[in-house]
Amino acid sequence: MGVDEPIDCEKTKFEDVAREVDVVLDTQGGETQQRSWKVLKKAGLLVSVIQPPSAEEAAKHGVKSAMVSRQPNAGELDEIAKLLEAGKVKPLVETSLPLADAKRPMN
């Protein structure tokens, strides 16, 4: 997938390892987003899908920020359903868990 150096975030804080990152894709928000600012290189970009990043914080770090969101579109969802039903799109399932284990961390 183009990963230069994977980081096990359960053992290592990403901000202790990552440096001069071009783009951070924030899918967590909150504290994780706050910690992400310092890993970006100057003129880097923090993009969040969960919480609007602070323009003030971006300016303070000399980087850019953006929020990306998408509203479901009934027509597009219908088309995806048709593709699934026709077998033209097949989801890849890595692991199936009982509902009781849904919050269990993956290894």
**CB contact burial 77-95 (16+ within 10 A = b; e otherwise):** eeeeeeeeeeeeeeeeeee
**CB contact burial 22-42 (16+ within 10 A = b; e otherwise):** eebebeeeeebbebbbebbee
Domains of the chain: 14-88 (3.40.50.720)
In 18-86, where does DSSP find H-type helix? 30-36, 55-61, 74-85
pLDDT in tens, 83-98: 999 999 888 888 787 8
* Percent of the chain's residues with pLDDT above 90: 66
Amino acid in the structure at residue 67: M
Confidence of residue 106 (pLDDT cuts 50, 70, 90): low
Q: Residue range 52-78: average pLDDT?
A: 93
- 34-48, 49-63, 72-86: segment of lowest average pLDDT: 72-86
Whole-prediction pTM:
0.65
